[in-house]
Amino acid sequence: MAHYLRWIVGLTACLTVSVIGCGGGEQSAEELTEKSTPEINPGEPGSGISDADVKTAKESPTVSINPPKQQEPSAAAAPSVVPPKDSPEWFLFAIKNYPRPGAEKPSPLGLAIPADLTARDEAIIRFAQQAIGKSFKDEAKKTLFTDAVHQLLEARYRMALRGKPEDVDLLYDDANELAGRFPDSTVAADATYILAQFAYKNARDFGKQEPRWLDEFAKQSRLFAKQFPSEQVRAPRLLFYAGWSCELHGKIDLAKACYGDLKTLFAETREGQQATAMLVRLNLVGQPLQLGGGTIDGGYVSDKDLLGHVSLIVFWSSENERFLKQLPILKSVSEKYLKYGVVVVGVCLDENEAGLSQFLEQQNLNWRQIYDPAHQRFDNRIAKHYGIRDIPTVWVADHKGIVRDLFVDPDKLELQVQNLIRAAQAQP
């Protein structure tokens, strides 16, 4: 559409577009809504990341977000009178009543049934362009113009997802052209947001094989947040998921950048508060471990108890499948190097204290277990303080109590422990 928009002389000057208010103007059909995103705080509807999502997060290319469902234009309640032919209203009406491939009923407007979804989207794009061209000069048709832009972007988005490079280029061209011509507007926000969504979708599907999509997701999310700070719902979510996706894939500097923007621009939001905690954790490497809590046997353990020992801090739950898979390695390393002073402290997020005691006995786990029955799962005060969103998580600290790693690979754990033991033994 960049080429199409350039045919419309004086487009920017001829139309006054609405400035976005707090919370954001019209929503994209592809938006990551409360319903389609995981929960940040388990047990609080619509607020965060569910435990099931956390269990599978590292098995996915990005954080385990339910993908935004593609929404094709569908017929709303038809007006009593079909709009005049070739009017902007008629083109929008046609888009919303455009037949799908294989439709059995004829179109009320006599529109040809498309051969496939690509042909349908191509027709929708043409109609949307016509509606834009016929409405942009008319202040009274501002809402119609915005709707036409929305339909155009949605169709471009679906075309780009089918993978043709030229369609990807057209999506970026149109979105950037619209954002540039109508800054600080609903149109600009939706255009910028859809690029972030496109990057998210590709990061989710291909981020592991093509990390550049994680970079693009972070870039577009940060751009959207900085250009539209009044977007108090969409912007924090984008930054949070971009940061967490980057964190899970070891792109720590990018994760810090996303969380930093969240802390600066959206400190009062739920995601902003969570990001503040995550930054505390990510900045912990090279710093003294700060840890303390009551244990399941009625005792207390703190970071001071760990001085002089190589220590492992394990955030876990007996219901977590990945923890159960890693448990044999953790037990093997802890038992093998117990004679060298290696200490393991568990931070258990279980809900059922009786079930936890039974699990510890069955598994013969003699780690000291920090457990707070009043603050379970991710409401655990230590997990909350450090923004723990993924379990199992294993930290390693040296004999001086300095945190050395926050992202321990189970297959490399023994080597890390050996190196830290040697370093401790080499000290006078």
| Residue 395: alpha-carbon gap to chain centroid | 24
Q: Which two tokens stand for residue 126?
A: 């043409």
Both tokens of residue 390? Answer: 């993924």
* pLDDT for the residue 73: 55
Quote the pLDDT of residue 18.
29
Asked whether 347 and 315 are in contact (CB, 8 A), the reply is yes
Q: Residue 354 has what pLDDT?
A: 87
In contact, 133 and 3? CB cutoff 8 Å: no
Domain positions in the chain: 2-282, 292-426
Q: CATH assignment of 292-426? A: 3.40.30.10
Tell me the C-alpha distance between 388 and 74, whole Å.
Answer: 41
* pLDDT at 1 (0 to 100): 52
Is residue 19 within 8 A of residue 184, CB to CB? The reply is yes
Q: Is 227 exposed, middle or buried (0-12, 13-18, 19+ CB in 10 A)?
A: middle
Is pTM, for the whole model, over 0.75?
yes
The rounded distance, in Å, linking the Cα atoms of 58 and 241 is 13
Measured at the alpha carbon of residue 181, what is the angle toward residues 173 and 132, in degrees to the nearest 5?
Answer: 80
Residue 420: per-residue pLDDT: 96
Beta bridge partners of 368: 345
Q: How deeply is 427 buried, as exposed, middle or buried, from its count of CB atoms within 10 A (0-12, 13-18, 19+)? A: exposed
Label each residue of the chain as H, E or C.
Answer: CHHHHCCCCCHHHHCCCCCCCCCCCCCCCCCCCCCCCCCCCCCCCCCCCCHHHHHHHHHCCCCCCCCCCCCCCCCCCCCCCCCCCCCHHHHHHHHHCCCCCCCCCCCCCCCCCCCCHHHHHHHHHHHHHHHHHHHCCCHHHHHHHHHHHHHHHHHHHHHHHCCCHHHHHHHHHHHHHHHHHCCCCHHHHHHHHHHHHHHHHHHHHHCCCCCHHHHHHHHHHHHHHHHCCCCCCHHHHHHHHHHHHHHHCCCHHHHHHHHHHHHHHCCCCHHHHHHHHHHHHHCCCCCECCCEEEECCCCEEEHHHHCCCCEEEEEECCCCHHHHHHHHHHHHHHHHCHHHCCEEEEEECCCCHHHHHHHHHHHCCCCEEECCCCCCHHHCHHHHHCCCCCCCEEEEECCCCEEEECCCCHHHHHHHHHHHHHHHHHCC
CB of 303 closer than 8 Å to CB of 401 = yes
Q: For each of the chain's 428 residues, which pLDDT tens digit applies?
A: 545 454 343 343 333 232 323 333 333 333 333 322 232 232 232 223 333 333 333 444 344 334 344 455 554 444 558 899 999 999 999 999 999 999 887 777 888 899 999 999 999 999 999 999 999 889 999 999 999 999 999 999 999 999 999 999 999 999 999 999 999 899 999 999 999 999 999 999 998 899 999 999 999 999 999 999 999 999 999 999 999 999 999 999 999 999 999 999 999 999 999 999 999 999 999 999 999 999 998 899 999 999 999 999 999 999 999 999 999 999 999 999 999 999 999 999 998 888 898 999 999 998 999 998 888 888 899 999 999 988 999 999 999 999 999 999 999 999 999 999 999 998 87
